[in-house]
Amino acid sequence: MTKTLHHRACHLCEAICGLTIETELQADGSSQIRSIKGDAQDSFSRGHICPKAVALQDIQNDPDRLRQPMRRVGSEWQAIDWDEAFALVAERLSAIQERHGQNAVAVYQGNPSVHNYGLMTHSSYFLGQLKTRNRYSATSVDQLPHHLTSHLMYGHGLLIPIPDIDHTDFMLILGGNPLASNGSIMTVPDVEKRLKAIKTRGGKLVVVDPRRSETAAIADQHLFVRPGQDAALLLAMLNTLFEEQLTGASHLPVAGLDAVRQAIAAFTAEAMSARCGVPAGTIRQLARDFAAADKAVCYGRMGVSTQAFGSLCQWLVQLINLVTGNLDRVGGALCTEPAVDLVASTSGGHFNRWQSRVSGLPEYGGELPVAALAEEMLTEGEGQIRALVTVAGNPVLSTPNGRQLEQALDGLEFMLSIDFYINETTRYADLILPPTAPLEHDHYDTTFNLFAVRNVTRFNQAVLAKPMGALHDWEIFVGLAKAFAAKTGGELKPSMAPEQMIDMGLRFGPYGDRSERKLSLATLRDHPHGLDLGALKPNLGGRLKTATQQVQAAPAILIADLQRFAAQALPKAGELLLIGRRHVRSNNSWMHNYHRLVKGKPRHQLLMNPADLAQRGLVDGQPVRVRSRVGAIEVEVAASEEMMPGVVSLPHGWGHARPGVQMGIASEQPGASANDLTDERQLDSLSGNAALNGVPVQVDAA
Ligand SMILES: Nc1nc2c(c(=O)[nH]1)N[C@H]1C(S)=C(S)[C@@H](COP(=O)(O)OP(=O)(O)OC[C@H]3O[C@@H](n4cnc5c(=O)[nH]c(N)nc54)[C@H](O)[C@@H]3O)O[C@H]1N2
Ligand SMILES: Nc1nc2c(c(=O)[nH]1)N[C@H]1C(S)=C(S)[C@@H](COP(=O)(O)OP(=O)(O)OC[C@H]3O[C@@H](n4cnc5c(=O)[nH]c(N)nc54)[C@H](O)[C@@H]3O)O[C@H]1N2
Ligand code: SF4
Ligand SMILES: [Mo]
């Protein structure tokens, strides 16, 4: 039968690798995937892919993936049709809001919300109508400190400088493991080659991580740091840069550097060494090496974001780049100029305009920290959450104290999930609305082009036709919006298809109608391998959105947070601290249902240093019980020299043995959920981001 080659990017993770997919037309008129390979003609990813892309066909063919709306009746699931489903949602949510107020309905948006353009362009079409302040997302278990820091320093939460990995001579990575994650807030397909190229050009890669990660293993230098204490290391580095006069001039207009210098004067390498576990001499030398490099960049990710001083860490990362003259400089940290420019077209965001009802946690950009979600459901009183809409998320496995959240979900009056699996979270829903699968819809990456290490753009056409009776995510939102407006008498503007919105974004953008390139959707359709728009260039001066058009080096709330840091108790000796990790064959909580990815030896053990095992009389491979303030799990322990003594590592996204989960392969190799141990009270209290790393635990024989 006829075979066709398609070119499009994979959008499962942030690397947006180009793919070449071969399909074959079947006698019944449908198409089957024959092969999925890296697209060698993609100038950005140059043929690179990871095993998850090959599993796109498993998502497509998975018998457990839902293909029609499902309504739960007791413990049974019954298929219903779309219109009936939309009407049911409108009726239930409007009745709950009428009785208990608008905030009684909460929303949680998960990670794929930024990996699927229909979710980006259309979710607020429906969710906005709910007019609730109880909006939550995976941002507050992830990169919230990045947004807050950029909002405060540069005037826009999305104006995040990206490491210029291809031109730097010195890259310092804290709390990121791009060899497993394929890069994050640094869209960089092919990251291993690009990191190794730093060394080939005579440069240096330094990794700071409590685990000798896959990335640390290829680095020139790896430093163990005590979990949650990176701020001590970064403060000491910055202090050394000032004290030893290793700073360089910046061409940017900057306000507040003197205030920074004064505020950090006491945080010397000698004073900070005991906190972070790195010798003072090593910290000073690191600062000197960084300053001496012609072009250097400091980059901090998950491990330093989801910890008790996540915002402080992200601020210090920016400052180290700034004071060494590496901010907005080739080979340092640069901002992109994407073809669809969300920085130019949106306002800079807001912070702490209102707070959560129970714990008073701050909103950012209209969202509250998800660590507060369960307590907002469980705590009685005016404003209590009675209903929830989840979109592309699995908060039971991905947010702190998942067991408490389960208890809260069980007590809701109504829950809607827009998702294609019955998983640990959606099993509590009254109704699940499943969208089309990744290869069945078009995609344009408005998020990850914004964070890419080159200015790139591409439109990804669907590879497979939309099945009869199926709806894309954006069409589900339109259906819900219409039904809700009809029920409540709300006003609804006409909706536009996502590709029309992208066409407009491209034409109004920096390479659009007013430029020589005249980019539009039509241009991109003619370039299925994507278009390279050039290397990143210094542009931050012209993009700043602060009121004074200056970089604000010393935002008052960050300066004040130094006192919280200084007042914190020193880490206890002998205490075990839990951190997380990722594996290249895994994707958060939802890609464990494909045999291709989970086969072979299990990858969800608790890693522990052999000395810590011996001290507890434990042996490699033994089942252990891990306890924290909030709960306990049982899991197999594996001895690992990669681990810093006193630190244990467990990947999140496992724990599929919960009753009612309908994911056959995942349930066979369930693992345990790290978030049954993480603590909803352990936060970066400045931003409200969850501190998922550095959780005190005890480990004994099971
Ligand atoms: N302990 C610990 N916890 C963590 C982390 C950690 O490192 N350690 N990492 C955190 C991070 S960085 C993140 S981003 C979160 C992720 O947390 P979440 O976003 O809550 O969860 P995911 O596991 O990404 O689940 C995604 C869900 O979306 C569904 N889905 C996939 N594609 C689509 C689609 O196109 N449309 C729709 N409607 N649904 C889709 C899947 O079936 C799945 O149910 O977890 C966080 N939690
Ligand atoms: N294969 C795969 N790729 C993914 C994902 C996935 O689940 N699987 N998830 C995607 C998502 S949603 C995200 S947000 C990105 C995340 O991408 P990354 O930020 O690269 O995240 P991780 O790979 O979890 O690496 C975090 C590192 O921080 C270390 N760490 C933990 N605690 C501390 C600490 O206190 N200090 C320091 N210095 N280090 C610490 C851990 O040991 C780990 O090596 O990955 C994305 N890509
Ligand atoms: S690294 Fe893997 S999952 Fe991420 S975009 Fe590339 S192929 Fe897809
Ligand atoms: Mo994430």
What's the pLDDT tens digit per position in 379-419? 999 999 999 999 999 999 999 999 999 999 999 999 999 99
59 alpha carbon to ligand 3 midpoint, in Å? 14
Q: Which residues of 334-370 are buried (b: 16+ CB within 10 A; e: fewer)?
A: bbbbbbbbbbeeeebbebeeebbbbbebbbbbebbbb
Query: Looking at ligand 1, which atom is closest to the CA of residue 653?
Result: 23
| Helix 556-567 and helix 230-243, axial crossing angle in degrees, nearest 10 | 110
Listed residue (622, 591, 610) closest to 648, CA to CA = 610
Q: What is the pLDDT of residue 575?
A: 86
Identify the nearest ligand to the CA of 438 by its number: 1
CB of 678 sitting under 6 A from ligand 1: yes
Q: Is the pLDDT of residue 566 over 80?
A: yes
144-335+550-564 maps to which CATH number? 3.40.228.10
Q: What is the pLDDT of residue 574?
A: 79
Per-residue pLDDT reduced to its tens digit, 582-620: 999 999 999 999 999 999 988 999 999 999 999 999 999
Cα–Cα dist 434/480, whole Å: 13
Q: What is the pLDDT of residue 383?
A: 96
Identify the nearest ligand to the CA of 115 by its number: 1
CB of 36 sitting under 6 A from ligand 3: no
Q: Is the pLDDT of residue 571 over 80?
A: no
Identify the nearest ligand to the CA of 48 by its number: 3
Give residue limits of the domains in the chain: 3-54, 70-142+343-534, 144-335+550-564, 572-701
Cα–Cα dist 452/649, whole Å: 29
Cα–Cα dist 582/588, whole Å: 8
CB of 56 sitting under 6 A from ligand 3: no
Q: What is the pLDDT of residue 642?
A: 98
Q: In terms of residues, how long is the chain?
A: 702
Q: What is the pLDDT of residue 1?
A: 74
How distant is the alpha carbon of residue 76 from its chain centre?
33
Query: Looking at ligand 2, which atom is closest to the CA of residue 693?
Result: 32
Write the Ramachandran bin of 235: left for phi over 0, alpha for psi from -120 to 50, otherwise beta. Answer: alpha
459 alpha carbon to ligand 2 midpoint, in Å? 28
Cα–Cα dist 260/247, whole Å: 13
Per-residue pLDDT reduced to its tens digit, 63-97: 999 999 999 999 999 999 999 999 999 999 999 99
CB of 10 sitting under 6 A from ligand 3: yes
Pocket test for ligand 3, best of 58, 114, 182 (most atoms within 8 A of CB): 182
CB of 473 sitting under 6 A from ligand 1: yes
390 alpha carbon to ligand 2 midpoint, in Å? 24
CB of 585 sitting under 6 A from ligand 3: no
Residues with CB under 6 A from ligand 2: 13-14, 111, 142, 174-178, 180-182, 184, 208-211, 213, 225, 227-228, 230, 301-304, 307, 579-584, 586-588, 693-694
For atom 4 of ligand 3, which residue has the closest CA?
A: 13
CB of 16 sitting under 6 A from ligand 3: yes
572-701 maps to which CATH number? 2.40.40.20
138 alpha carbon to ligand 4 midpoint, in Å? 7
**In the numeric block, which tokens belong to residue 633?**
């799990």
Per-residue pLDDT reduced to its tens digit, 486-516: 999 999 999 999 999 999 999 999 999 999 9
391 alpha carbon to ligand 1 midpoint, in Å? 10
Q: Are 26 and 1 in contact (CB under 8 A)?
A: yes
Per-residue pLDDT reduced to its tens digit, 317-333: 999 999 999 999 999 99
215 alpha carbon to ligand 1 midpoint, in Å? 23
**In the numeric block, which tokens belong to residue 161?**
């400088």
Q: What is the pLDDT of residue 335?
A: 98
H/E run at residue 577: strand 576-579
Identify the nearest ligand to the CA of 180 by its number: 2
Give the pLDDT band of residue 162 (cuts 50, 70, 90).
Answer: very high
Cα–Cα dist 175/161, whole Å: 17
Give the pLDDT band of residue 451 (cuts 50, 70, 90).
Answer: very high
Q: Is the pLDDT of residue 43 over 90?
A: no
70-142+343-534 maps to which CATH number? 3.40.50.740
Cα–Cα dist 465/439, whole Å: 9
Terminal C-alpha separation, the chain: 56
Q: Are 466 and 438 in contact (CB under 8 A)?
A: no
Look-up of token digits 């990575």: 173
- Residues pairing with 248 in the sheet: none
Cα–Cα dist 5/33, whole Å: 10
Per-residue pLDDT reduced to its tens digit, 105-126: 999 999 999 999 999 999 999 9
176 alpha carbon to ligand 2 midpoint, in Å? 5
Pocket test for ligand 2, best of 113, 579, 649 (most atoms within 8 A of CB): 579
Three-state DSSP string of 522-541: HHHHCCCCCEEEEECCCCHH
For atom 6 of ligand 3, which residue has the closest CA?
A: 17
304 alpha carbon to ligand 2 midpoint, in Å? 9
Identify the nearest ligand to the CA of 51 by its number: 3
Give the pLDDT band of residue 348 (cuts 50, 70, 90).
Answer: confident
Give the pLDDT band of residue 170 (cuts 50, 70, 90).
Answer: very high
328 alpha carbon to ligand 2 midpoint, in Å? 25
As a whole number of Å, the CA-based R_g of the chain is 25
The pTM score is 0.98
Q: What is the pLDDT of residue 573?
A: 78
CB of 114 sitting under 6 A from ligand 3: no
Listed residue (150, 142, 143, 138) closest to 107, CA to CA = 138
Give the pLDDT band of residue 623 (cuts 50, 70, 90).
Answer: very high
